[in-house]
Chain A
Amino acid sequence: MKPDLKVKIAGVEFANPLMTASGCCGYGEELAEIFPLSKLGALVSKSITLNPRLGHPPPRTAETTSGMLNAIGLANVGIDKFVEDKVPFLKKQKTKIIVNVAGSKLEEYVEVCSRLNDIECVDMIELNISCPNVDEGGMEFGADPTMTEKSLKAVKKVFNRPIIAKLSPNVTSIVQIAKAAEQGGADAFSVINTLLGMVVDAETWHTKITNNKGGLSGPAIKPVALQMVHAVYSNSSLPIIGIGGIRSTADVIEFLLCGATAVQIGTGLFIDPMLIVKIEKELTQYMKRKKCNSIYDLIGKVRKY
């Protein structure tokens, strides 16, 4: 029997647990040139803000040991252009669409979410309360439990489908923030956004990106992400989407074992745009070999000492 890759998060069914990570696939157009997006469990869009944003001046990425630092600065087309130019394309894709929403003020989050409520093809919103790369908003919302709860409550009022809270690792207790988001009405969690970092050139004494600090992603952060997924899983019954440095099928399995119901792949796509297609194939083979009929046979099944 062919193993079943389907998973369900807050009532939404996904063909498989493999999603793109926000900010790592634009609005899907470029990736669709390389493989059919129907191969994805879901496409997660770049963060959408109320107004268009150019982002930080270049250079805004730097390579690190087993990863990368970025401070793109939420460059995006803004909600008007997103609805006008990008939604017609997304509507045609045979995959679930999750739109990531960011803002610098609570009213902005609310406005964007309320606009998205009218767009039928948007299956879910992922609330970016964890972007480390903007001066205002982003991480501010997700670093304080009271603000987290307030934000979730506000957007839940205007968007009638599930909302995922994307959590920051740059906090003292991610569990405390997760609980606040749950209190505010979050339907699921994305764990984790990037880790705050800095890259310096020993020869020139210069930081390598114009924002000086940025978000670290890639294989370097996987152990941090696995621990945080497991911590949230152990303290909440809401489904978790695991994110952080995935570049192989084994990495996906590790996230599932630690409690993730699905995963997002970001930086890994830069190196191998076919990564998700490859993992989908290998995941089936792995499940056959381990005699798992469903993804649920793996979720949270990590064996601890």
Chain B
Amino acid sequence: MKRKKETDELKIPFLFDYTELTAIEEYLTEQEKNGLRLVGIEGKCFVFKKSVPREIRYCAEIYKGSLISDFKAACEEEGWECIGIYNGELFIFATQDPDACEIMTDDKEKFKVIAKRVLLQPGYLGFQGWVILHFINQFVFRSDYAPLIEANIYDWICIVCAGFHLTYIFTKFIDFFVWLSKSKKYVKKGEKIPFSDLKKHRQDYRANCIAMVISAFLCIATILYLLVGYVESDWLVPICGVFVLFGALNLVYDYNKRKNNGETNRAAHIIAIMVAAVVIAGTFATVQYNHKMFEENTRHLMNNNSIPVSLSDFGIEENDCEDSTEYVYATRLAQQYFFSSDYENDSKNEESYYLDYQVFISDSPKIRQRYIDRILRNYEKWGIPIMKIEDSEADWDEYYREFDSGEMTNLGFAVKDNMVVFLDSCWMDEEEDFFEVAYEKLFAESK
């Protein structure tokens, strides 16, 4: 059997942010004391080699400019050896000369450089996320459920945030798997990977992990929202709020930590997690409550035969569904399927009509309003008049008057409780008012 190649080299992923230059220096100095010397940077990993510890100073600096070779040469003349470059802009230098001049002597300038890089990175990732989501919306998914078509500003904020985090997490996972696959090759069996040291030097390692979990949740919610329309937009806004809140608390925690000279302020950390947990629990409770109300409402309507459709029409029984949420969701799909295009033929009178009507049900007034807005917007765009029919005689009279004078087409929508009914294109017996029939059919028994 071929023996696995053994080497003294060890690769550890680069998990630092650009704001953590001092932490990088401390980490490398500590590894040097432990007998692991940094010999280079490969891709997104530090490459260490086992060696005898020595007195050495590390320096991590960002330089992004057109004079890289000159910059490196000048550093070397000052006694700094360039060990590696991360991402083409973060340089790791080392020197054994205790009197070597600092590479960045102007703190203000250093801050500007870091801030620029820190802002550009997420900006770029955010842009990537937006492109991905735009692509999904434009080419992969297009239907009445596509929320991007009718997205409001809050949805866009959520979608952009989610897109950014989706990309961010994606890159982090790639980093992790690259490290996992490579480190196995380099670490001998039973040998401890000095990963714990890395954790210690991260300024906010644990908080970042939790933030990543929340981000992952946000991403899953967004994907569901985009692809199946299952998660209503009312979910995403509070989830996004939780994330923002957690980020703010994380900053407070970091600030406290720095203020206390790097000592962890456990109380601030615990408070941050507790508040975030309470908000998350509150969000879930609200969502569950909404679903319960929706379920009860749907059951009530079905029991009163207000909506002539049930899941059994589609061969689905309640027991087939794993939980009530799935049942409600399936019911809703069935209703939408049933009402989306219904054809009825009255053969006795040889009078036929075609009815295309949709019923949109939501407990959320905001979502109902958005559905109405979309209808109005589309018909306005197409130049077709449409009117809202309230449950009053005066409304119907006005509708007839306008319809008779040719000012109004046979389009209309009615709002009742948690339902919006959109009536479209019907041909009917001159003596029969189909709108009235349809309206009665849908709402009479629920009155």
- Chains A and B belong together in one complex: no
Residues of A within 8 A of B (CB): none
